[in-house]
Structure 1
């Protein structure tokens, strides 16, 4: 059943499918990028994936941790490595922001 929790994922999927149908792309992938402890997002992503035909191939749920770990293992430039560290600081370094907002 389509509910409001799927709105953004559904819109993204419609845009992706339009890219294929309009002939601009041969295939598309969509997904959800979230924190590994965001159980609600992980559940929503898994439910949405199950609603799609071949959802396990077309839609992926990727956690920040998985992405950053895999990116750090690549032979990438220092600039890209720095960007992945900034991603970690922004979305995973919650202990850093907790200190900044401590009263």
Structure 2
């Protein structure tokens, strides 16, 4: 449970159009804090320098840093949603996943 006076700390995986929208909304919310971004492209290619947060090239790199993250937003291509969501959940993080959660019923049921 998050203390009343503590901001919810987010990381966004995927810095394309939707990922940038997530990051912008998190940054603007007074009860939230953007603490990391992830994309396979460079921070410069993603035009993400202005967020001024740590930048990683994979969810594995992000999770290995053991940052204080409450929620991981998955905003990557559809075929990666299930795998990345499962990794975040196994690391004890809450997950917000863009639709679809998975490309098959089996992936969604994992």
Q: Which has the larger radius of gyration?
A: 1
Q: Greater relative contact order (Cα 8 A, min sep 6): structure 1 or 2? A: 2
| Band the TM-score falls in, shorter-chain normalisation | 0.3 to 0.5
Q: Which has a greater percent of helix?
A: 1
User: Greater share of strand residues, 1 or 2?
Assistant: 2
Q: What TM-score do the two structures reach when normalised by structure 1?
A: 0.34
